[in-house]
């Protein structure tokens, strides 16, 4: 029923928020959280506070320290609010103040907010998914988030968010990874990308690369990250092609993919590129470095 | 038309019913910001879901569409008087309102008030005044076409009865018969310039000459009917031509709208002074305002108060 201790989460988020809002903002929020939690609270109390949050707490970014990022990860593995802002944090605190013993009722309230949300509200709701009780009730909502074409909203559900890796079924997960590449967002910010890699995804990504090559379009080097462990005869041809690309990032991606493969021809392919091989072994090449560089080159 | 490069606001216009041409021409004529009150669609909605999607479009797609032409779009949210008469539906719409009234860029509860002046209209007018009071938002009041003077006075009395300060209420669609009562009671008096009905711009000039520019607001209320989205710039131009001072024109066609609806805390001059950059390469839910082969406009929109020819080359 729980992904994170709700009390601990609320305490943590409130402390983070203190630095990014005013005393009045904190007081307003505390009052609203108590109101929503109180006996006899109506849905209206939550709805009004949820929308109005930015005008009372502002929109300052949270600015987490390295220690706080680690704390977040202790509260909920993969939880990373380092890109959150004050309003979003307050909105999360408000929905976590909602009674949640009755899962269906909790889900209905959250769904009502989703169904009438504007863009800032959608970002807050999707990014809060890994903290909500009854997480299994929000699978189709998360899948809906993968379908959006609003960039910030897609990022909120797909990137730096552990909910998809922990709860989405394989097809939905694969769809999300493909879409991330399709819209040019950084794959290295998908939480759990290694853990959830699978043979079907590798095949889908290889097909997608072929489509791009046929159209004379560049293929993101990050595409090969989930492919490495599933290199087979067909994909081996793709990797050979990568080694021959003029772009160094693509060669590095090929080397990393081979290093993650247990198939003998892939290991041999890597041996044939000793320079790249030693850079992989020295840790000079990593997927997040490739992702960073690919993003910068965009 | 010459508005001497004044920045203008149309605080009552139903853009959902208008085209991109209108946006382009409005911007060209000097309109920098607009307010779109929630209203009816010409035929009654039969499901609460239609209201939900309509309200969502006012804070979503329509706002985006306006931004693509360099115009800041705000809205007011409410259950209009005509549709308040369907009581079971009205109840459900009342439950939706708290989901929308505090959203960003919502500058008031509106347009609400009376149409036929039925007891049910009265019930939902009062319920929405209570909501406006609870969230401290301005109220935009639609005054009835029939029995207008009595309906206007009653609207104001009911606002006062609910403890709402007159300077938090914009009374719309005034005429020569109602203006004095509205101003005397301390409310904002808005005028809708309609070709053929309501208020013509020549009459508007006379009203400003007689009553001055204090708390008087001009709008177009342009919608799906015969109406003119350029009513505000045209009226501004005529006022200047007829010798009303630039400062008075600026007040009735810009500043008063900003001062009244600015009380929401959701509308600031800096919104358009810093934000009139246009990027038509942007999309909203994958939709662009452009159609095949059109070149997106990117950068600053300039205005000289004149309009281009309509001939397509
Ligand atoms: Zn109207």
| Torsion angles phi and psi, residue B109, rounded to 5 | -100, 120
Using DSSP's 3-state secondary structure scheme, residue B117 falls into coil
pLDDT tens, position by position, for chain A (298 residues)? 789 999 999 999 999 999 999 999 999 999 999 999 999 999 999 999 999 999 999 999 999 999 999 999 999 999 999 999 999 999 999 999 999 999 999 999 999 999 999 999 999 999 999 999 999 999 999 999 998 888 899 999 999 999 999 999 999 999 999 999 999 999 999 999 999 999 999 999 999 999 999 999 999 999 999 999 999 999 999 999 999 999 999 999 999 999 999 999 999 999 999 999 999 999 999 999 999 999 888 7
Q: Is the pTM of this model over 0.95?
A: no
* Test the B interface: residue of A116, A149, A151, A152 with most B CBs within 10 Å: A116
Binary contact (B52, A52; C-beta < 8 A) = no
- Using a CB–CB cut-off of 8 Å, the residues of B that contact A are 52, 55-56, 59-60, 95-96, 98-104, 134-135, 265-266, 283-286
> Of the candidates B56, B95, B102, which has its C-beta nearest A48's C-beta?
B102
Spatial separation of the C-alpha atoms in residues A16 and A8, rounded to whole Å: 12
Q: Residue B168: which pLDDT band, with cuts at 50, 70 and 90?
A: very high
Using DSSP's 3-state secondary structure scheme, residue B103 falls into coil
Q: Judge contact between A214 and A246, C-beta under 8 A.
A: no
- The residues spanned by each domain of chain B are 8-275
Q: What is the mean pLDDT of residues B284-303?
A: 69
- In this predicted structure, the answer to whether residue B309 has a pLDDT above a threshold of 60 is no
> Of the candidates A44, A115, A119, which has its C-beta nearest B98's C-beta?
A44
> Smallest CA–CA separation between A46 and chain B, in Å?
9
The pLDDT assigned to B310 comes to 45
Q: Residue B172: which pLDDT band, with cuts at 50, 70 and 90?
A: very high
Q: Which residue of A has its CA nearest to B287?
A: A149
The pLDDT assigned to B313 comes to 43
Q: What is the mean pLDDT of residues B102-115?
A: 96
Q: Which residues of B touch A43 (CB under 8 A)?
A: 95, 98
* Test the B interface: residue of A51, A153, A182 with most B CBs within 10 Å: A51
Binary contact (A116, B135; C-beta < 8 A) = no
- In this predicted structure, the answer to whether residue B167 has a pLDDT above a threshold of 80 is yes
Give the pair of three-digit tokens for residue B209. Answer: 């000459």
Nearest to B111 by CA among B229, B214, B223: B223
* Test the A interface: residue of B55, B91, B103 with most A CBs within 10 Å: B103
The pLDDT assigned to B276 comes to 62
Q: Could you give the percent of chain B with pLDDT greater than 70? A: 91
Q: What is the mean pLDDT of residues B200-208?
A: 90
Spatial separation of the C-alpha atoms in residues A192 and B15, rounded to whole Å: 45
Q: Which residues of B touch A115 (CB under 8 A)?
A: 52
**How many angstroms does the Cα of residue B288 sit away from the middle of ligand 1?**
27
> Of the candidates A47, A54, A121, which has its C-beta nearest B98's C-beta?
A47
Tens of pLDDT, residue by residue over B40-67, are: 888 889 999 999 999 999 999 999 999 9
Mean pLDDT of chain B: 91
| Torsion angles phi and psi, residue B292, rounded to 5 | -45, 135
| Torsion angles phi and psi, residue A139, rounded to 5 | -65, -45
Spatial separation of the C-alpha atoms in residues A129 and A136, rounded to whole Å: 10
Binary contact (B99, A55; C-beta < 8 A) = no
Binary contact (A47, B60; C-beta < 8 A) = no
Q: Which residues of B touch A116 (CB under 8 A)?
A: 52, 55-56, 96, 99-100
Q: DSSP letter at B246? A: H
- In this predicted structure, the answer to whether residue B257 has a pLDDT above a threshold of 60 is yes
Q: What is the mean pLDDT of residues B118-123?
A: 96
Q: Bridge partners of B188?
A: B170
Q: Judge contact between B289 and B68, C-beta under 8 A.
A: yes
> Smallest CA–CA separation between B56 and chain A, in Å?
6
Nearest to B170 by CA among B197, B137, B201, B148: B137
0.85 surpassed by complex ipTM: no
Nearest to A103 by CA among A144, A140, A137: A137
Binary contact (B59, A118; C-beta < 8 A) = yes
Q: Judge contact between B258 and B9, C-beta under 8 A.
A: yes
In CATH, the architecture of B8-275 is Alpha-Beta Barrel (3.20)
**Three-state DSSP string of chain A:** CCCCCHHHHHHHHHHHHHCCCCHHHHHHHHHHHHHHHCCCCCHHHHHHHHHHHHHHHCCCECCCCHHHHHHHHHHCCCCCHHHCEHHHHHHHHHHHCCCCCCHHHHHHHHHHHHHCCCHHHHHHHHHHHHHCCCHHHHHHHHHHHHHCCCHHHHHHHHCCCCHHHHHCCHHHHHHHHHHHHHCCCCHHHCCCCCCCCCHHHHHHHHHHHHHHHHCCCCCCHHHHCCCHHHCCHHHHHHHHHHHCCCCHHHHHHHHHHHHCCCCHHHHHHHHCCHHHHHHHHCCCCCHHHHHHHHHHHC
Binary contact (A51, B56; C-beta < 8 A) = no
The pLDDT assigned to B308 comes to 52
Nearest to B200 by CA among B224, B226, B172, B175: B175
The pLDDT assigned to B293 comes to 62
Q: What number of CA atoms fall less than 13 Å from residue A127's CA on the CB side?
A: 25
Q: Bridge partners of B9?
A: B33
């Amino acid at each position: 029923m729980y992904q994170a201790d709700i009390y601990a989460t609320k305490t943590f988020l409130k402390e983070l928020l203190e630095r990014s809002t005013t005393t009045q903002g904190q007081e307003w929020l505390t009052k609203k959280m108590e109101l929503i939690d109180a006996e006899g609270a109506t849905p209206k109390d939550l709805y009004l506070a949820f929308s109005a949050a930015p005008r009372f707490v502002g929109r300052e970014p949270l600015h987490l320290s390295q220690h706080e990022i680690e704390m977040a990860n202790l509260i909920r593995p993969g939880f990373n609010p380092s890109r959150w802002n004050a309003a979003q944090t307050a909105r999360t605190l408000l929905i976590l103040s909602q009674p949640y013993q009755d899962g269906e009722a909790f889900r209905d309230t959250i769904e009502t907010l989703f169904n009438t949300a504007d863009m800032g509200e959608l970002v807050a709701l999707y990014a809060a998914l890994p903290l909500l009780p009854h997480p299994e009730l929000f699978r189709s909502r998360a899948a809906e988030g993968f379908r959006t074409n609003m960039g910030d909203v897609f990022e909120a559900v797909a990137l730096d968010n552990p909910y998809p890796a922990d709860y989405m079924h394989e097809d939905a997960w694969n769809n999300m990874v493909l879409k991330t590449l399709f819209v040019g967002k950084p794959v290295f910010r998908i939480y759990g990308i290694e853990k959830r890699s699978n043979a079907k995804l590798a095949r889908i990504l290889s097909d997608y690369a072929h489509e791009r090559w046929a159209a004379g379009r560049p293929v993101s080097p990050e595409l090969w990250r989930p492919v490495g462990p599933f290199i087979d005869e067909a994909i081996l041809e793709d990797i050979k092609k990568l080694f021959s690309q003029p772009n160094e990032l693509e060669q590095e991606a090929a080397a990393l993919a081979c290093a993650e493969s247990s198939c003998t021809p892939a290991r041999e392919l890597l041996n044939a590129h000793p320079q790249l091989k030693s850079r992989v072994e020295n840790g000079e090449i990593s997927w997040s470095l490739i992702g960073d560089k690919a993003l910068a080159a965009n | 038309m010459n508005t001497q490069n004044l920045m203008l606001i149309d605080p009552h216009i139903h853009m959902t019913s208008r085209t991109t041409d209108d946006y382009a021409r409005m911007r060209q004529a000097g309109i920098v910001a607009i307010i779109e009150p929630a209203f009816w669609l010409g035929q009654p909605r039969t499901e609460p879901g239609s209201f939900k999607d309509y309200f969502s479009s006012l804070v979503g797609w329509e706002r985006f569409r306006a931004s693509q032409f360099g115009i800041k779009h705000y809205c007011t949210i409410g259950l209009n008087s005509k549709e308040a008469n369907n009581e079971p539906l009205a109840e459900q719409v009342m439950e939706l309102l708290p989901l929308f009234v505090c959203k960003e860029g919502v500058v008031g509860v509106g347009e609400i008030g009376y149409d036929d002046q039925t007891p049910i209209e009265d019930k939902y007018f009062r319920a929405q005044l209570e909501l406006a009071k609870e969230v401290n938002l301005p109220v935009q009041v639609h005054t009835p076409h029939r029995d207008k003077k009595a309906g206007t006075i009653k609207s104001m009395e009911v606002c006062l009865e609910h403890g709402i300060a007159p300077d938090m209420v914009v009374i719309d669609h005034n005429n020569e018969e109602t203006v004095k009562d509205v101003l005397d009671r301390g409310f904002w008096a808005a005028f809708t310039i309609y070709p053929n009905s309501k208020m013509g711009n020549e009459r508007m000039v006379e009203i400003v000459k007689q009553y001055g520019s204090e708390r008087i607001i001009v709008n177009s209320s342009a919608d799906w009917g015969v109406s003119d989205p350029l009513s505000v710039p045209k009226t501004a131009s005529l006022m200047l031509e007829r010798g009303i001072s630039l400062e008075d024109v600026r007040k009735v066609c810009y500043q008063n709208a900003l001062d009244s609806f600015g009380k929401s805390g959701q509308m600031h001059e800096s919104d358009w002074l810093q934000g009139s950059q246009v990027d038509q390469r942007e999309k909203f839910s994958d939709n662009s305002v452009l159609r095949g082969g059109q070149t997106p406009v990117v950068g600053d929109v300039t205005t000289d108060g004149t309009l281009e020819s309509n001939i397509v080359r």
